[in-house]
Structure 1
Amino acid sequence: MKVSAIDVTAERPYQVVVGTGALELLPQYVAEQRRIAVIHPPVLREQASRVRTACDCQTLSIEVPAGEEAKTGETLQRCWNALAEAGFTRSDAIVGLGGGATTDLAGFVASTWLRGVTYVSVPTTVLGMVDAAVGGKTGINLSAGKNLVGTFYEPYTVLCDLSFLESLPVEEIRSGMAEVVKAGFIADPAILSIVEDDPAAALDPRGEVICTLVKRAIAVKAAVVGDDLRERTSVGRDIGREQLNYGHTLGHAIERDQDYRWRHGEAISVGMAFVAELSRRLGLLDDDTAARHGMVLRALGLPTSYPAESWPRLRETMNLDKKTRASTLRFVVLEELGRTAILENPDEDLLQASFEALSADAGSVTGGSEGRSETGESGTLG
């Protein structure tokens, strides 16, 4: 077993343990708990059984739908009922085993059951490891939008066992890499160079490159959330946790437009390409860095465009984004590698032109997981 730990120094400090075999450490983290409930999707039934066998305490298995279908009020109610029927108390713990959607749900269950019980997150995808499981955000979806109901609730620990990645389809690894690339643009440009040097190695779940990339991306998020757990209101270049939403305003709208048939990373990839083009047209970002978005993302096989005719639907959906405040549409934009800012209410024609520029990009990759000058244009750095 070869693991390393990344400290998250937020309100309740914890560690993210990364490496092959990290799951073997779970028993020591729940040793003081009387019982544990393992929330997991059906495909991880065997792994959940291994967890229950390894832990020297009573266990309860709660199966939930795979992916975003788990993050509903109905599934949440079912989890609560299962805990109630089993008589779970504050002496017990919840383990979230699965991808980002599962850990989002499990964390929300843990934060709300008896106003909060011990929670251990065991993400099994790249996306879960570098994004959803770190930072204390939990949530479920509504028909009106993604993650509109949620809490800030830090886990007791996060165990990122890289052996889980070996059984994933390449599409799932590729999706997670979008969030890794995001970390490169907003904070750690070395990530971009590593990907550019060998995109295929970045997608190899058994190699050292993916381990390095996962650790670097987690370190970026750990540093950001340690400084700003609850996403204070950002203004202009004074930006905290909100920088992690780079590419997400449009990305979340695309997810909803696709009824979540696209993987999260695919949608966020288009969102980053869009906001890079928006930043370029506003004169905030140089041409080369804007173009680099498309080159890095496409090298990984990620999409960077979306049909132009979908813009009216997407624009309407963005009004419901969590970052929209007092009817002010907000974007996290990039001024240079590692420096983000908040842009409020950019010109509507500029928004549409930036989006249509992506659709005209002949080098774009089409997403989908089924089978699963503009200098001087209006906009306010708010």
Structure 2
Amino acid sequence: MNPPRTPPRIVHVGGSAPYDIHIGHGLLDDGAALAAHVRGRHVLLLSDTNVAPLYAERVAAALQAARPELKIGRFVLPAGEASKTLAGFGEAITALAELGATRDACVFALGGGVVGDLAGFAAACWMRGVDCVQLPTTLLSMVDSSVGGKTAVDLPQGKNLVGAFHLPRAVFADTGALTSLPLRELRAGLAEVIKYGAIRDPLFMEWLGAEREALLAGDAHALATAIARSCEHKAEIVERDPLEKGERALLNLGHTFGHAIETEQGYGAPGSDNLNHGEAVAVGMVLAARLSTQLGLAPASDAEALQALLARYGLPTQIPVGLAPEALLARMRLDKKNIAGRLRLVLWRGIGQAMVVPDVDEAQVLQVLAGTP
């Protein structure tokens, strides 16, 4: 039974190109609201093989009903991180060309983080930039990748190494889409939600501890609250630092470690037991917290509390077996935050007090990766 329709929550993102994040149930069917962000008559609906069968027809029908003159093309990627490549980007660009998309076209990114990143990058590059509307369908993409305009594709050498900043015209987070989300993917999104408490909001961390059962059960009100609070945190940060010159780097707590794990495992190939992005970030946050303790920046009790909360949510907290510390360190050296070949990591002084630490000693990082004090 669907929850009663209520007005969506709206989180405003300010800055040079302001936009709104709409959070609520049934937004994918609101053709008038979606079509309001289409300036021309060309729309490319970009999705993947998991999401398109569930929602693509609904979104296309809603847009067409609101704007019958729209010419709507579709491009569907194979689901999974392995599709977020230069080859996939090239296919998306070809789809825009075949649609005859003009400079007032709009790309709708219907799916999770992979779809959002690739669709946003294609929109950033087609004719030097066309509009993009993000329609995130996973919790992880609702609270992280759909907000802030980071777009990219992966290389074999590392995640998100080719990309651009390209702000969306709007974000519509339809919480109804979360009912079709597997529990593992829901947990992965909750890792990114927990991150916001870890970097700047101890009270939110306490709330997440208290609301664990409701969130894991998919309670609509609890999820909407978690999404809105997470988006509020991200909006406040990206408004002040849209191009990640300073404070925005704090949003990457655990990501340098996590990206290294993802890359070394081969980006979660379909059918494998490799960690997905949220799971890798969960492990990465634990490693960042342990390193902070080892460097004398934060109490061990806070690292233990973070690890315990992640474990209560069913998330991994240890590096997968078979990954060599030296290989992970080599991956971390390619992180975009590094300067002059020196590691620059997001660590913390304790829960709610994230910080960027330059010139981190690689020997200390290696000890944490090896699990040695």
TM-score (norm 2): 0.91
Report whether the alignment pairs 1:226 with 2:239: yes
Q: Which runs of 5+ in 2 are unaligned?
A: 269-274
Q: Output the amino acid matched with 1:8.
A: V
Q: CA RMSD in A?
A: 1.6
Q: Percent identity?
A: 37
Q: Output the amino acid matched with 2:261.
A: I
Which of 16, 37, 47 aligns to 2:21? It is: 16
Secondary structure at the aligned position of 1:336 is classed as coil
Q: CA deviation at 1:118?
A: 1.4
| Range with bigger deviation, 192-201 or 2-11 | 192-201
Q: Distance in 2 between matches of 1:92 and 1:75?
A: 20
Report whether the alignment pairs 1:322 with 2:336: yes
Q: Output the amino acid matched with 2:102.
A: T
Q: Distance in 1 between matches of 2:239 and 2:29?
A: 26
CA contact (8 A) 2:303 2:350 kept: no
Report whether the alignment pairs 1:338 with 2:352: yes
CA contact (8 A) 1:11 1:229 kept: no
CA contact (8 A) 2:134 2:170 kept: yes
Cα deviation digits, residues 100-126 of structure 1 (max 9, x gap): 110000000111111111110000001
Q: Output the amino acid matched with 1:141.
A: D
Q: CA deviation at 1:194?
A: 1.8
Secondary structure at the aligned position of 2:161 is classed as strand
Report whether the alignment pairs 1:296 with 2:309: yes
CA contact (8 A) 2:108 2:119 kept: yes
Q: Distance in 1 between matches of 2:219 and 2:351?
A: 29
Q: Distance in 2 between matches of 1:227 and 1:255?
A: 29
1:257 corresponds to: 264
Cα deviation digits, residues 350-382 of structure 1 (max 9, x gap): 22222333xx8xxxxxxxxxxxx8xxxxxxxxx
Which of 60, 67, 81 aligns to 1:52? It is: 60
Q: CA deviation at 1:54?
A: 0.9
2:361 corresponds to: 347
TM-score (norm 1): 0.89
Superposition map of 1:234-253 within 5 A: 234=246, 240-253=247-260
Q: How many residues align?
A: 353
Q: CA deviation at 1:81?
A: 1.2
Q: CA deviation at 1:12?
A: 0.3
Report whether the alignment pairs 1:188 with 2:201: yes
Report whether the alignment pairs 1:95 with 2:105: no
Q: Distance in 2 between matches of 1:53 and 1:74?
A: 29
Cα distance, 1:26–1:272 mapped onto 2, change above 3 Å: farther
CA contact (8 A) 1:41 1:66 kept: yes
Q: Distance in 1 between matches of 2:257 and 2:278?
A: 12
List 4+ stretches of structure 1 deviating above 4 A: none
Q: Output the amino acid matched with 1:342.
A: V
CA contact (8 A) 2:198 2:354 kept: no
Q: CA deviation at 1:26?
A: 4.5
Q: Distance in 2 between matches of 1:251 and 1:158?
A: 26
| Range with bigger deviation, 73-82 or 167-176 | 73-82
Q: Distance in 1 between matches of 2:155 and 2:324?
A: 21
